[in-house]
Amino acid sequence: MAATLMEGEALAARIRAEVADDVRELGGMTLATVLVGDDPASHLYIGLKHRAAREAGIEPIDHRLPAETTQDELLELIAGLNADDRVDGILPQLPLPPQIDEAAIIRAVDPERDVDGLHPFNAGQLYLGRPTLVPATPLGIIALLDEYRVRLERARAVVVGRSDIVGKPVAHLLLQANATVAICHSRTADLAAETRRADVLVVAAGVPALVAADMVKPGAAVVDVGQNRTDAGLVGDVDSAAAEVAALLTPVPGGVGPLTIAMLLRNTVRAARFRRGSLAFPAA
């Protein structure tokens, strides 16, 4: 029997509508984005983020810098945004050009306005089980699993991928939801043996069809985060034949993707509440 598809569009639209209500209630807000260089995918993502922000009543503040921008120039811009009281959220679009140390830029963003949830303070809070601002894609994954009533407590969850933006944070959110969690990566000895044990399998590796149907436990819930541009179009990390084995599976596109931007907007509301005092931000 074919798996039920965990579609993200409808849930994302609902979240965006909630965000629009919150933004109205709070009297508007702003999201500053910083794009360095001319990576076409980054330009596309920034465009999508701006459009979604505007639709929710969030005013984007658009900063674009040339590819040869130095680290000091970028740090100066971030310091200016941190000092600007009109700015509710700050998002440096990644990846940054090679002459810039990404970690230094992430560290420079005011943790209260770090809507990507990547600042070491926010990452540490998540590690401690006291989430403040959490990366958007992992939040979207958990929201989608919740929407489809996937039980996490007592489940064995396996995450493939250990990036700071998807793999590690989603593993922590799953742990917080009382799943028993394993994290696999490119040096895992026997990936198939690990994934076959997963009641909940989250794959964020960026490798087309990395997870074949026979690597999926029958009846599992499978979240395919991968977005790989191939000659055949956009494909995920999970082979489409897995739909015959899993009970639930996210489509690519249309699964996790739409939730990422919705959760970024929700993070912007959260950041605005932190700064305006209606939500307490723990001392850094």
Residues that bind ligand NAD (CB under 6 A): 137, 160-163, 165-167, 184-186, 188, 191, 204-207, 210, 225-228, 256-257, 260
What does the alpha-carbon distance between residue 123 and residue 103 come to, in Å, rounded to a whole number? 12
**Catalytic status, residue 168:** no
58-65 and 180-184: which strand pairing?
unpaired
User: For ligand NAD, which is the closer residue by CB, 77 or 220?
Assistant: 220
User: For ligand NAD, which is the closer residue by CB, 109 or 184?
Assistant: 184
Q: How far is the CB of 186 from ligand NAD (least distance, A)?
A: 4
Q: How far is the CB of 169 from ligand NAD (least distance, A)?
A: 10
User: For ligand NAD, which is the closer residue by CB, 93 or 260?
Assistant: 260
Which residue shows structure tokens 């964020």? 204
User: For ligand NAD, which is the closer residue by CB, 210 or 245?
Assistant: 210
Q: Which listed residue (22, 49, 224, 239) is catalytic? A: 49
Q: How far is the CB of 10 from ligand NAD (least distance, A)?
A: 16
Q: Which listed residue (88, 116, 224, 237) is catalytic? A: 116
Q: Which listed residue (22, 88, 93, 110) is catalytic? A: 93
Q: How far is the CB of 247 from ligand NAD (least distance, A)?
A: 21
Q: How far is the CB of 8 from ligand NAD (least distance, A)?
A: 9
DSSP the chain: -PPEE---HHHHHHHHHHHHHHHHHTT-EEEEEEEES--HHHHHHHHHHHHHHHHTTEEEEEEEE-TT--HHHHHHHHHHHHH-TT--EEEEPSSPPTTS-HHHHHHHS-GGGBTT--SHHHHHHHHTT--SS--HHHHHHHHHHHHTT---TT-EEEEE---TTTHHHHHHHHHHTT-EEEEE-TT-S-HHHHHTT-SEEEE-S--TT-B-GGGS-TT-EEEE---EEETTEEE-SB-GGGGGT-SEE--TTTSSHHHHHHHHHHHHHHHHHHHHTSSPPPP-
User: For ligand NAD, which is the closer residue by CB, 130 or 229?
Assistant: 229
**Catalytic status, residue 49:** yes
**Catalytic status, residue 93:** yes
Catalytically active residues, by annotation:
49, 93, 116
